[in-house]
Every structure is written in C-alpha cells, then in structure tokens.
C-alpha cells in the first residue's frame, strides 16, 4: 500500500503536469495507530506548484480508494493530506479550463472535482489537511473537505481567488467555507479579497478566521501536525468551533457583499454575484444541493467573455511574462557587465538605480553637461546609502 501513484482512467491533456497523490502509512505518535499520509507532488520544485487537471483528480481518486479500504478494514485510524515543500496545492489547471468548449463539459469537470474531493470528508476515519505551503483555489478546497486543518506559519499565498478570474470556488468552497466560518468571513475570503487586488491570506488570518484549527512553525511542521492529529484521534485534544449565526447576520453579510460588488463592478461582471448567491444559499442548502449549485455556476461562468479575458490576462502577466513567446533561447544570452543610461533626469536616475540594484553591475550615466550627470549620480548614491 506504499507509494501509490496515479492511474489516469480519463486521458489527461498532453501538456498537463500531473499532480500525483503519493501514499504511505505512518505510525502516529503515542501509539495512536496508523495513518494514511497523502503527499501531493507533481515531481517539480516549488517553482511549478501542484495543480489539478483530470490526471491529478484520477490519481487522488485511486489513492482514496486504497485509503477507504484501509479505513474500513481498521488498518488506519486517520488520513492526512499534505503537499511538497513550500506548496500544498494551487487549484485547477487553468490551461485546461481554457480548453473547455461547452457548458456541459464545464459542469462535468466541476462535478468530477466534487466527486473526488468530497470523499475526504466522508471516510469512516477523520481526515486532516496539513497545509504546509501555498494553498489557493482547489488546493484550499482540498483542505476544506477535510475534517481538521493545520497550517504552517511559513505558508504563503492562501486564498480562494476565483472571483478575480471570473469564476467561483467550484470544488466545494462556496458551500464548505460558509458552513465552517459563517457568511461574513466567507464573503471576505471569496468576494472581497479577490476584488481587492486579489489579496492573499496570511497564516495568522487563516487561523483567526477559523479556516485552520492550529498553526505550527515550518521547521518541524509535519512532525507537530502528526502529533496534533494523534491527540485529536485519541480524544486528548478536542477541536471546538463556534456556532455559526444563521439568522439575520448571515443575510446582512450577503447584502453587504452585494453592496461591495456593486461599488467595484457596477454589475459588469457576473462571478462575484454568483458567488454571493451561493453563499446566500449555503445558509440552508444541503451538501449535495450546494455542490450541484456550484456545478451550475461553473457551467454558466466558464463560457463567459469575462472568464476568457481573465484567463488571458492571468496567462499574460504570470506565464508569458516569464517565458515570452518567440524569445531567444536562454543559452544564447551573454553576460551583462555594464549598462549605459542616456539622460540624468529623475526618470533616468531612477532607472539607473533600479539597474544597479537588480543587475549589480556598473551603470554609466550621460547627459548634456557634467552638472546634470553629477546630480543624477548623486541621486543614485543617495538612495543606495539610505
């Protein structure tokens, strides 16, 4: 049962980097029993975070088959999910989303994610998410499907950013989060933060919001998380969560979210409003109803111009900025040993300062007379000496 890799029953896209769900059994501290530890890993370093396309979902589904069998036989007392160094998971493979050609296909991808991820919360043993690093979108939703969550104090990039792209959290987040932390906090995470220049959550906020149950330092995060999980399994630690207010406070939070969306969007983009509809419905909807509503929303939003524009801009500033199309091969680059800047005015001086700081090579400034050059050089030295 060790090191189970993926079996892609549905062919993944040829360019998909498959995130595998690697499985091993570990002994929980204090004789609490054995746990199944799932590590999400796409085989690359942290510069290529774990994402999930069809292949990744199939890998996780197969691994969960083994976990479920072990839980039902009494071989394990818990299951835990963690990520590779610095990265837990950053959600769906956006290159695959761009290839969806119809609403029915979009609905099936959303439903498939629900079918796989929800199993983490429906096993006969408790499930734990050890959020060791970046967790965005579907990555954070994996954690939300688990019964309990720990977070590393060194983790960064934690968010549900879908609304900023023109989508909604479509693998359970729009129902799970409100039912975990309430409507007001969920509106902040799902709607307000994405509309505020895609603001990320810090680990301390994840803990204070109630998304995580406990936080540990990164140096021994996995060891401490396993120790905590053992104490939860044995009953030594009882995780208590405040009761959610499902009265007027819920309705007021959704109304405030709509006012915020109107202020920022004026009704021009539908994703924020659909997300608020889902949060509003989560007040009374069952899990099945909530997940089905997310499928419908994904089917509707995936084919909109707003999403296509969002994906284009994301690709342009995130991927193409680092690897421009048609750029010469890096092996052809020559070392830069000196840079010249024509002009010594404020803008030229600021450019010279930036080049000195980033390239760490000599920078020559030239202008019409020596006085201007001296002023520009003085500016650069003054900024460096601060």
Active site residues: 141, 162
At 62, phi and psi to the nearest 5? -65, -40
- Please report, for the chain, how many H helices and E strands are present, in that order: 16, 11
Write the DSSP assignment of 98-154 as a string of letters.
Answer: TT--SHHHHHHHHHHHHHHHGGGGSSSS-EEEEE-SEEETHHHHHHHHSSEEEEETT
Burial of 256 per CB tally in 10 Å (0-12, 13-18, 19+) = middle
Sheet-wide strand order for 127-131: 20-28, 33-41, 78-83, 127-131, 148-152, 214-216
- Distances 125 to 72, 180, 214, 245 between C-alpha atoms, Å: 8, 19, 20, 28
- Residues in the chain, overall count: 386
Integer-rounded Cα Rg, in Å, for the chain is: 24
At 268, phi and psi to the nearest 5? -80, -25
DSSP 315: I
């Amino acid at each position: 049962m060790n090191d189970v890799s993926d079996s892609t029953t549905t062919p993944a896209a040829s360019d998909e980097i498959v995130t595998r769900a690697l499985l091993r059994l570990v002994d929980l501290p204090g004789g609490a029993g054995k746990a199944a530890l799932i590590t999400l890993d796409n085989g690359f370093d942290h510069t290529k975070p774990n994402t999930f396309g069809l292949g990744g979902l199939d890998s996780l589904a197969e691994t969960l088959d083994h976990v479920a069998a072990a839980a039902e036989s009494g071989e394990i007392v818990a299951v835990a999910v963690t990520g590779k160094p610095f990265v837990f998971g950053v959600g769906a493979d956006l290159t695959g989303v761009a290839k969806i050609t119809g609403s029915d296909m979009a609905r099936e991808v959303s439903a498939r994610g629900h079918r796989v991820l929800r199993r983490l919360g429906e096993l006969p043993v408790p499930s734990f998410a050890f959020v060791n690093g970046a967790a965005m979108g579907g990555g954070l939703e994996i954690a939300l499907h688990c019964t309990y969550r720990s977070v590393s104090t060194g983790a960064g990039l934690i968010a549900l950013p879908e609304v900023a792209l023109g989508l909604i959290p479509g693998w359970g987040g729009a129902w799970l989060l409100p039912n975990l932390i309430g409507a007001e906090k969920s509106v902040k995470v799902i709607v307000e933060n994405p509309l505020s220049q895609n603001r990320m959550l810090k680990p301390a906020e994840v803990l204070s919001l109630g998304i995580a149950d406990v936080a540990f330092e990164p140096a021994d995060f996995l060891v401490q998380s396993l120790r905590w999980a053992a104490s939860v399994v044995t009953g030594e630690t009882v995780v208590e969560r405040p009761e959610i207010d499902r009265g007027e406070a819920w309705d007021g939070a959704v109304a405030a979210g709509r006012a915020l969306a109107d202020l920022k969007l004026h009704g021009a983009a539908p994703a924020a409003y659909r997300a608020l509809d889902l949060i509003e419905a989560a007040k009374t909807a069952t899990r099945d109803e909530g997940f089905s509503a997310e499928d419908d929303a994904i089917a509707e939003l995936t084919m909109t111009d707003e999403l296509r524009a969002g994906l284009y801009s994301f690709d342009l500033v995130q991927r193409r900025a680092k690897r421009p199309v048609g750029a010469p091969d890096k092996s052809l680059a020559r070392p830069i040993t000196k840079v010249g800047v024509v002009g010594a005015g404020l803008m030229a001086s600021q450019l010279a300062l930036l080049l000195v700081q980033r390239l760490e090579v000599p920078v020559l400034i030239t202008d019409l007379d020596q006085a201007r050059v001296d002023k520009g050089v003085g500016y650069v030295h003054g900024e460096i000496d601060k």
